[in-house]
């Protein structure tokens, strides 16, 4: 049974690449790292009911399990190539495996990412994906390079995924218009789009970069710590979708944008003189980008409200343990 499941995964995710010398089927994969490139690797685990709501469709779980990992490569400025998949399933359920593989493959294919191996075990539903990508030597983006005076930017809009999670937990009593806004927010939760093209475009431009998985404040805090700087954010500048602003009041929308997790947008810093170039580079690849603040001396993130007073918040986004 397990063999058939693995066969099914292999068929549904097939992606020929010359640099995969040996893929799924042997004791280990053999991969050829292109000459003159550095290998960038990351792994993330999704646990049922923790990292996605119980009852999430298998196709969405497959997409998201890969997306959150590709987002880590995007934040490093890396181009993805290969993945490993460790799947723990309560039972050998071919319907789950087919849906999962379809979602995984739908995201993998446009990036020519090959699934080269993994492991399949029985237990409470949990998925680990490890991704491997390349970056030119010394050009990986890190959390550590932000300098006082740099500008702070984010891609896309903030808070949609957290609002989507909130919306999922509310009883359904929407008209068609509100239902379509809800669906947009829920899709932002279930089908995050990793900002790979933006990350690659930021190589040699951004001084620091992180992907927003735990919330803007929490993740910007990591840039502060790694770079030894502070950051001042203007609440009025935070990019928020019209769906978020239509369905939620200002207080909730601001909370989601500052502390909500799961957006998988990039947050990065650039020297002020590079702002115009970065904006035009990202707009050329169809990626929205917004300046939200500035790097200052200090060691943490401060948020200035529309009345110019500093916001006090002890909710710095949720940090998960595992």
Binding residues vs Mg ion (CB under 5 A): 119
Interaction partner, residue 152 (ligand ADP, Mg ion, none; CB < 5-8 Å by kind): none
Smallest distance from ligand ADP to CB 108, Å: 12
> HEC string of the chain?
CHHHHHHHHHHHCCCCCCCEEECECECCCEECCCCCCEEEEEEEEEEECCCECCCCCHHHHHHHHHHHHHHHHHHHCCEEEEEEEEEEECCCCHHHHHHHHHHHHHHHHHHCCEEEEEEEEECCCEEEEEEEEEECCCCCCCCCCCCCCCEEEEECCCCHHHHHHHHHCCCCCCCHHHHHHHHHHHHHHHCCCCCHHHHHHCCCCCCEEEECCCCHHHHHHHHHHHHCCEEEEEHHHCCCCHHHHHHCCHHHHHHHHHHCCCCCCEEEEECHHHHHHHHHHHHHCCCCEEEEEEEECCCCEEEECCCCCEECCCCCCCCCCC
Binding residue (CB under 6 A) for ligand ADP from 18, 26, 91, 249: 26
Question: Contacts with ligand ADP in 88-147 (CB under 6 A)?
Answer: 115, 117-120
Q: Tell me how many residues contact ligand ADP (CB under 6 A).
A: 13
Q: Least Å distance between CB 256 and Mg ion?
A: 40
Minimum distance of ligand ADP from residue 47's CB (angstroms): 16
Closer CB to ligand ADP, 28 or 276, in the complex: 28
Regarding 176 and contact with ligand ADP (CB under 6 A), the answer is no
* 9, interface contact from ligand ADP, Mg ion, none, CB < 5-8 Å by kind: ligand ADP
Q: Which CB, 133 or 260, lies closer to ligand ADP?
A: 133
Binding residues for ligand ADP, rule: CB under 6 A, are 6, 9, 24-27, 85, 87, 115, 117-120
């Amino acid at each position: 049974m397990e063999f058939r499941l693995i066969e099914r995964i292999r068929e549904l995710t097939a992606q020929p690449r010359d640099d995969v010398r040996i893929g799924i089927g042997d004791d280990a994969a053999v991969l050829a790292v292109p000459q003159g490139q550095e290998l960038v690797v990351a792994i993330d685990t999704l646990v049922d009911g923790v990292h996605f709501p119980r009852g999430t469709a298998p196709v969405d779980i497959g997409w998201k399990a890969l997306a959150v990992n590709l987002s880590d490569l995007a934040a490093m400025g890396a181009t993805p190539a290969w993945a490993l998949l460790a799947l723990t399933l309560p039972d050998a359920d071919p319907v789950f495996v087919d849906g999962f593989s379809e979602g995984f493959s739908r995201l993998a294919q446009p990036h020519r990412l090959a699934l080269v191996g993994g492991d399949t075990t029985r237990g409470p539903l949990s998925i680990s994906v490890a991704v491997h990508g390349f970056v030119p030597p010394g050009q990986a983006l890190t959390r550590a390079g932000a300098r006082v005076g740099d500008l702070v930017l984010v891609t896309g809009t903030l808070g949609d995924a957290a609002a989507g999670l909130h919306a999922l937990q509310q009883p359904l009593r929407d008209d068609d218009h509100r239902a379509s806004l809800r669906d947009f927010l829920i899709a932002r939760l279930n089908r995050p789009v990793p900002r790979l093209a933006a990350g690659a475009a930021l190589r040699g431009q951004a001084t620091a970069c992180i992907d927003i998985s735990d919330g803007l404040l929490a993740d910007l805090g990591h840039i502060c710590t790694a770079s030894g700087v502070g950051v001042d954010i203007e609440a009025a500048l935070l990019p928020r979708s019209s769906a978020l602003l239509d369905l939620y009041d200002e207080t909730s929308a601001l909370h989601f944008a500052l502390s909500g997790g799961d957006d998988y947008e990039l947050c990065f810093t650039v020297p002020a003189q590079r702002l115009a170039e970065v904006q035009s580079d990202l707009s050329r690849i169809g990626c929205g980008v917004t300046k939200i603040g500035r790097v200052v001396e200090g060691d943490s993130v401060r948020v200035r409200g529309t009345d110019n007073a500093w916001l006090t918040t002890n909710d710095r986004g949720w940090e998960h343990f595992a």
